[in-house]
Structure 1
Amino acid sequence: MLKLSSSISSIRFLNFNSPSIISYPSFKFPTTLKTTMTHSPNFSIHSSNSSPAITAEEPQVAPPKPKPQHPWLIVGLGNPGKKYNGTRHNVGFEMVDAIAESEGISITNVNFKALLGRGFIGNVPIMLAKPQTFMNSSGESVGAIVSYYKIPLKQVLVIYDDLDLPFAKLRLLPKGGHGGHNGMRSIIDRLKGSRDFPRLRIGIGRPPGRMDAVNFVLRPFNKQEREELEFTFQHGTEAIRILLLEGFDKSATFVNSSKAMEQLG
């Protein structure tokens, strides 16, 4: 119980309806109360039948601001212009177009030497890019986008054609080299030699007979191939959705297990 160090000989209480002055003759604060007041400037003393209680107001702490979420950059490789529409070397462009159609994203902005579209997959922000530099200089566009938006390389997915995969098959990798693909070579060079970014490879098959690879990749698909590719684009779009929402491992399992089942069938 808090005890006062001296008695109070007389107290006249203030009447708030009159300008009377309250007087406290021979009144002193106890030492313990003075200390409390010094360290707790925001306090109140409540009258009660028991000992007076001293309470301090808790400081208001603002909640931490959420960190800004970097978008995923999804890049499809190809060559610009009508001359190259529908050719094997442009399946990266077509895969990005399939994602845009599925998610309702318009790829109409022109910046960083690329056609760009922005939107979401689920609650994950994404940027879709189709470099307009021609295949062998794709890194000029990709490097500029990554640098400007400070996108982590683990969130840069590059989609491109692959001669070494069976036609219409997909393979998702967490990182790797360029494998002789000039578009990928350009991107790695512009990213200061880093290969630590995921990529989705789309098989276009091998050139028949002795046909030169350069001529083969610039050939269009026939009707049967085009029908098969439509399934591949649907499959790839779902794989990318899983990648962004559930992680790389689940997406890779989805791609690889589907491939294995198709081979068994």
Structure 2
Amino acid sequence: MLGASSSLNGLRFPLPSVHRLPSLVRRTRPMLLSPPPLSASASSSSTGDQSKSKPWLLVGLGNPGKMYTGTRHNVGFEMIDAIAEGEGISVSTIRFKALFGKGFIGDAPVMLAKPQTFMNASGESVGSIVSYFNIPLNQVLLIYDDLDLPFAKLRLLPKGGHGGHNGMRSVINHLKGCRDFPRLRIGIGRPPGKMDPASFVLRPFNKKEREELDFALQKGLDAVRILLLEGLNKSATFVNSSQPSELMNR
């Protein structure tokens, strides 16, 4: 598949100014973080009490700056915003080249991140966070757009390749080639006619698409809650068995 963001290769823009987002709910409990050992990489085989003491890392992929806000390539950012709003987590500080925030979903500690490196260099941010906090890769959820899924269709998988997505390609490269981490893909559909996919992913949504996407983002928030509190199998069943038309009729 043609990389969804191939036209962005090599571009380097100045980092846009960051607007602080309101914190809807103040968390009073401290994060349950172990002292960071600063290892070069995190193993996806980490299990037991050590794994349970680690936070989940939820990362949405996109491009920073107003010109990319509300475009198809930024649905990963929108999913993180929906999680932040739904759980009252402020994602307003810059750390690890990302807009970054910490909080809880139920009793599960989480970190939310929106890399500000531009899509094709997303791995620089993700790799730094995973390494610093030594997060097991089975607790790193990547959220991003997918041209090969019908519009507003969600798909949750425990692992996989990059599928031609340049942001995911970068993440996998910075995780030393490891692909064993879950990912939530958000369908944006195929471009009409002979439109260049690189141009299509930078287009905004029309009114009908906006309504469908907002519904899908709410479904994604529910899926993330199930993932963290009940496990990947239940969350994947919840997500993957539902078509957009079925969800809209519920």
TM-score range, shorter chain: 0.7 to 0.9
* Alignment-derived partner of residue 225 in structure 2: 241
Task: Report the alpha carbon displacement of residue 250 of structure 1 after superposing the two structures with TM.
Answer: 0.2
Distance in 1 of aligned mates of 2:170 and 2:241: 31
Report whether the alignment pairs 1:160 with 2:148. no
Report whether the alignment pairs 1:213 with 2:213. no
Distance in 1 of aligned mates of 2:245 and 2:217: 18
Distance in 1 of aligned mates of 2:154 and 2:244: 11
Task: Report the alpha carbon displacement of residue 192 of structure 1 after superposing the two structures with TM.
Answer: 0.2
- SS class of match (2:242): helix
User: Which of these residues, 177, 195, 208, is aligned with residue 179 of structure 2?
Assistant: 195
User: Which of these residues, 160, 179, 185, is aligned with residue 169 of structure 2?
Assistant: 185
- SS class of match (1:250): helix
Structure 1, residues 41-89: CA drift from partner, whole Å, max 9, x if none? xxxxxxxxxxxxxxxxxxxxxxxxx757110000000000001000000
Distance in 1 of aligned mates of 2:237 and 2:171: 26
Alignment of 1:93-242 (within 5 A): 93-242=77-226
Distance in 2 of aligned mates of 1:114 and 1:140: 10
Distance in 1 of aligned mates of 2:73 and 2:242: 24
Structure 1, residues 78-131: CA drift from partner, whole Å, max 9, x if none? 000001000000000000000000000010110100000100001000000000
What is the letter of the counterpart of residue 81 of structure 2? D
Report whether the alignment pairs 1:257 with 2:244. no
* Alignment-derived partner of residue 5 in structure 2: none
Distance in 2 of aligned mates of 1:111 and 1:255: 31
Task: Report the alpha carbon displacement of residue 257 of structure 1 after superposing the two structures with TM.
Answer: 2.2
- SS class of match (1:197): coil
Task: Report the alpha carbon displacement of residue 249 of structure 1 after superposing the two structures with TM.
Answer: 0.4
Task: Report the alpha carbon displacement of residue 262 of structure 1 after superposing the two structures with TM.
Answer: 1.8
- SS class of match (2:235): helix
Distance in 2 of aligned mates of 1:224 and 1:202: 16
Distance in 2 of aligned mates of 1:200 and 1:257: 14
Report whether the alignment pairs 1:90 with 2:74. yes
What is the letter of the counterpart of residue 149 of structure 1? F
Q: Which residues of structure 2 form unaligned runs of 5+? A: 1-48
* Alignment-derived partner of residue 23 in structure 1: none
Answer whether contact 2:123 2:171 (CA < 8 A) is retained: yes
* Greater radius of gyration (CA): 1
Distance in 1 of aligned mates of 2:208 and 2:196: 22
Task: Report the alpha carbon displacement of residue 256 of structure 1 after superposing the two structures with TM.
Answer: 1.8
- SS class of match (1:258): coil
Structure 1, residues 149-188: CA drift from partner, whole Å, max 9, x if none? 0000000000000000000000000000000000000000
User: Which structure has the higher relative contact order (CA within 8 Å, separation 6+)?
Assistant: 2
Answer whether contact 2:153 2:244 (CA < 8 A) is retained: no
Task: Report the alpha carbon displacement of residue 258 of structure 1 after superposing the two structures with TM.
Answer: 2.2
Structure 1, residues 195-219: CA drift from partner, whole Å, max 9, x if none? 0000000000000000000000000
* Alignment-derived partner of residue 29 in structure 1: none
- SS class of match (2:215): helix
Task: Report the alpha carbon displacement of residue 261 of structure 1 after superposing the two structures with TM.
Answer: 7.6
Task: Report the alpha carbon displacement of residue 223 of structure 1 after superposing the two structures with TM.
Answer: 0.8
Task: Report the alpha carbon displacement of residue 260 of structure 1 after superposing the two structures with TM.
Answer: 8.4
Distance in 2 of aligned mates of 1:174 and 1:256: 12
Question: How many positions carry a matched residue from both structures?
Answer: 200
Distance in 2 of aligned mates of 1:184 and 1:196: 12
Distance in 2 of aligned mates of 1:185 and 1:158: 12
